[in-house]
Amino acid sequence: MSASLFFREFLTNWQSVGAVAPSSPALAERMMEAAGIWKANHVLELGPGTGAFTAAIRDSLPKHSEYLGIEINDGFAKQLRERFHGMNFEVAGAQEFDFASYLRGRPPFDVVVSGLPWTAFPRSLQESILENVLPHLGQGGSFATFAYLGFHQLPSGRRFRQLLHERLHGVETSRVVWANLPPAFVYIGRKAKETH
């Protein structure tokens, strides 16, 4: 069901969906490990799609932790709300969502899990999403995202990696997850702690 909805949406919105199939459980597990989801207080997921990472977040997130998913595709968001009761989804572009208003009275995010297809995005969109999101990641918080093997060498993939290195501390790459279509790896970085 998820895979067929995903593929249908890919055929009509290929540039924003950016993949032919949802991420695999193996990639979801690698993302959770990298992000340290088991100790998170407030998780932001960008581009949850049909919920491949969302299910893993739900299964690992400590009780009483909070979650927000930002999904631009309202068909995906409708299905996510039906499937994941008690989790909060907003239909918006990650580049334009008003995080400051949403976070009023709530703790900042300490983990961002991104399923966005960064390599399919122009530089301006890569930058505007990072500029809108990263100010709301608490100091020392983690930012986890993935790249498809090979695609990371395209100019847009290299540019995105460079942006991560410029904006985050200690960016690392995981081992390749071969059990994914296409094989992929995880980038993990942290928001630098301010030193006085």
Residues that bind ligand SAM (CB under 6 A): 16-19, 22-23, 46-49, 52-53, 70-73, 76, 93-95, 115-117
Sheet holding 137-148, edge to edge: 88-91, 66-71, 42-46, 109-114, 137-148, 184-190, 169-173
Q: Is the dihedral of CA 179, 41, 133, 78 positive or negative?
A: positive
Which C-beta is closer to ligand SAM: that of 59 or that of 169? 59
Residue 49 or 141 with smaller CB distance to ligand SAM: 49
Min separation Cβ 122 and ligand SAM, Å: 11
| Cβ 89 to ligand SAM shortest distance, Å | 11
The rounded Cα 191 to chain-centroid distance in angstroms is 15
For residue 82, which phi and psi values (nearest 5 degrees)? -70, -35
Measured from the CB of residue 184, what is the shortest distance to ligand SAM in angstroms?
A: 9
Residue 172 CA to residue 170 CA, distance in Å, equals 6
Nearer to ligand SAM, 52 or 168 (CB): 52
**Distance from C-alpha of 150 to C-alpha of 146, rounded to nearest angstrom:** 12
Shortest distance, position 17 Cβ to ligand SAM, whole Å:
5
Comparison of 18 and 170: residue with beta carbon closer to ligand SAM: 18
